[in-house]
């Protein structure tokens, strides 16, 4: 990160106006979201309880082991929530911090290094500072050292009002394991702190127990470990089950604290937990012969769940990623995203495109999956004509490139200034972004884009 940092300082100084104009016109080509009359502002003025689910991948949801559900609470919760079934993490080397960065800014993280370290001084339009303009207080809860991932500095820059870190928690031998405070006492302690916050708040809870090497005390094992050659995968199942129990506790605590009804709960998996080193055992777990490159991309799906008390949800098949979370939450809060500032799309907007681009350049559209220079038919998982991936491949390269340029050159300084002066921005030509065609209830049919 130190090397990247010094190289990038030079880049920033030499940010050229052409770079700014190019990045800006790319962003302005994003389709202007059409508001959903039922959902726009459906959570106006409510607290946002955002939960980073450590290393949680989607493949464990709605799956049983030894006749027991691995995530019984989440499985019930998604029946009563908006559940995005085709949602991908887009993190790089910055892991948890990359996920945080993507969610707060609707920008991609960097191809190498952690943007939390290398570009913590840039100008951003981040959720905490943006929501402050709408009367929100913001806080983060994470029972780890405040300097981990440079969070203390980055959080100040992003506009967080308060960071509850290790010294704010009671941590002892009894209530900790592996990386520190166990998630259940973490929620018990932190929800009490949240009760004291000014409301409405935008609060981020970062869980930790379901982190490699996936250790647990005997009394916290609510499901037996899996039995394969991979100790990592074996233990993962058990720590995921513990995380599920911790989320259940979060909801109980929130209800008890009187926070439930006036909040929305936004839960997301931060990144994968099981690397390709464990794919032989993973194949057995999933009942497959092997994990193909196509399967590997499917395994980058992470849960994205929005629970709005008092409102029914639905399963949403549209393809999306972490970069889409910022505009999607803003939609629910009744705040229109300013055009030209976000790489992601509002997934509740009826005309949003349906795709996800991963940090390594792989991508998923309704028709195809592209990875490792190969094109797969998304419906069958079979290799298909490369030409089918070609048109979007160019777009994916551009999207990552412009996001990188914005970060390297600190271009949001200029883009934001401009947006302030000329908002709403003029629309440029429409793009051939992949439409989404089959969300349930016809909500998301996308003939317009």
Active site residues: 96
Among 69, 161, 225, 270, binds Mn ion (CB under 5 A): 270
Q: Closest separation between CB of residue 138 and ligand GP9, Å?
A: 18
Q: Closest separation between CB of residue 365 and Mn ion, Å?
A: 27
- DSSP string across 229-265: S-HHHHHHHHHHHHHHHHHHHHHHHHHHTT-STTEEE
Give residue number: closest CB to Mn ion. Answer: 96
Closest C-alpha to 351, from 446, 259, 419: 446
Residue 266, H or E segment: strand 263-269
Binding pattern for the stretch 22-61 against Mn ion, x by CB under 5 A and - elsewhere: --------------------------------x-------
If binding is defined by CB under 6 A, does position 211 make contact with ligand GP9? yes
**Degrees (nearest 5) of the Cα angle 381, 107, 359?**
35
If binding is defined by CB under 5 A, does position 96 make contact with Mn ion? yes
Q: Closest separation between CB of residue 223 and ligand GP9, Å?
A: 22
Interface region with ligand GP9, contact rule CB under 6 A, candidates 168-176, 204-212, 392-400, 430-438: 204-212
Find which of Mn ion, ligand GP9, none residue 144 binds, CB within 5 to 8 Å per kind: ligand GP9
If binding is defined by CB under 6 A, does position 28 make contact with ligand GP9? no
Among 30, 81, 90, 96, binds ligand GP9 (CB under 6 A): 96
Q: Closest separation between CB of residue 96 and ligand GP9, Å?
A: 3
Non-local CB neighbours of 329 within 8 Å, separated by 6+ positions: 48, 127, 266, 306
Binding pattern for the stretch 367-406 against ligand GP9, x by CB under 6 A and - elsewhere: ----------------------------------------
How far apart, in Å, are the Cα atoms of 230 and each of 17, 101, 227, 432? 52, 31, 8, 43
How far apart, in Å, are the Cα atoms of 54 and each of 24, 57, 141, 211, 428? 34, 9, 14, 6, 39
Residue 5, H or E segment: helix 2-13
Q: Closest separation between CB of residue 289 and ligand GP9, Å?
A: 30
Give residue number: closest CB to ligand GP9. Answer: 95
| # residues contacting Mn ion (CB under 5 A) | 4
If binding is defined by CB under 6 A, does position 144 make contact with ligand GP9? yes
CB-based contact 202:43 (threshold 8 Å): no
Q: Closest separation between CB of residue 143 and ligand GP9, Å?
A: 9
Closest C-alpha to 36, from 337, 438, 334: 334
Find which of Mn ion, ligand GP9, none residue 100 binds, CB within 5 to 8 Å per kind: none
Closest C-alpha to 54, from 321, 273, 232: 273
Interface region with Mn ion, contact rule CB under 5 A, candidates 66-74, 91-99, 261-269, 302-310: 91-99
Non-local CB neighbours of 157 within 8 Å, separated by 6+ positions: 120, 121, 122, 124, 126
Token reading at 85: 């079934």
If binding is defined by CB under 5 A, does position 175 make contact with Mn ion? no
Closest C-alpha to 86, from 441, 378, 388: 378
Interface region with Mn ion, contact rule CB under 5 A, candidates 19-27, 96-104, 251-259, 350-358: 96-104
The residues that touch ligand GP9, with contacts defined as CB under 6 A, are 95-96, 144, 148, 206, 208, 211
Site residues (vs Mn ion, CB under 5 A): 54, 95-96, 270
């Amino acid at each position: 990160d130190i090397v990247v940092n010094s190289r990038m300082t030079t880049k920033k100084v030499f940010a050229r106006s052409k770079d700014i104009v190019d990045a800006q016109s790319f962003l302005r080509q994003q389709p202007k979201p059409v508001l959903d009359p039922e959902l726009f502002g459906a959570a106006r003025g409510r607290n946002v309880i955002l939960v980073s689910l450590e290393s949680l991948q989607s493949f464990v949801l709605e799956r049983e082991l030894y006749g027991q559900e691995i995530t019984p609470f989440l499985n019930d919760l998604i029946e009563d929530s908006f559940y995005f079934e085709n949602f991908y993490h887009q993190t790089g080397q910055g892991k948890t911090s990359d996920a945080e960065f993507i969610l707060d800014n609707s920008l991609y993280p960097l191809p190498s290094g952690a943007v939390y370290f290398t570009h913590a001084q840039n100008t951003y339009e981040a959720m905490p500072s943006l929501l402050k303009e709408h009367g929100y207080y913001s806080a983060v809860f994470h029972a780890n050292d405040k300097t981990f991932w440079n969070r203390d500095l980055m959080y100040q820059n992003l506009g967080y009002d308060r960071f509850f870190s290790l010294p704010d928690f009671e941590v002892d031998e009894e209530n900790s394991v592996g990386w520190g405070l166990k998630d259940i006492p973490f929620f018990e302690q932190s929800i009490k702190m949240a009760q004291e916050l000014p409301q409405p708040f935008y609060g981020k809870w970062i869980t930790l127990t379901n982190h490699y090497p996936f250790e647990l005390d005997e009394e916290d094992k609510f499901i037996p470990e899996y039995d394969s050659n991979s100790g990592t995968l074996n233990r993962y199942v058990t720590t995921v089950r513990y995380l599920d129990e911790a989320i259940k506790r979060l909801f109980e605590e929130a209800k008890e604290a009187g926070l439930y009804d006036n909040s929305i709960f936004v839960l997301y998996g931060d990144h994968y937990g099981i690397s390709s080193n464990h794919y032989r055992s993973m194949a057995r777990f999933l009942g497959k012969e092997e994990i193909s490159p196509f399967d590997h991309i499917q395994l980058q799906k992470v849960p994205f769940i929005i629970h709005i008390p008092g409102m029914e949800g639905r399963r949403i098949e549209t393809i999306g990623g972490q970069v889409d979370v910022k505009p999607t939450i803003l939609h629910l809060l009744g705040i229109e995203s300013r055009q030209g500032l976000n790489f992601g799309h509002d997934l509740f907007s009826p005309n949003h495109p349906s795709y996800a681009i991963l940090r390594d350049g792989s991508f998923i559209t309704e028709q195809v999956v592209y990875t490792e220079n190969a094109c797969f038919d998304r419906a069958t998982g079979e290799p298909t004509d490369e030409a089918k991936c070609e048109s979007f491949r160019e777009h994916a390269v551009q999207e990552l490139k412009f996001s990188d340029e914005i970060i390297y050159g600190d271009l949001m300084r200029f883009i934001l200034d401009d947006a302030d002066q000329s908002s709403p921005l003029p629309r440029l030509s429409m793009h051939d972004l992949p439409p989404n065609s089959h969300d349930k209830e016809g909500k998301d049919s996308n003939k317009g884009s």
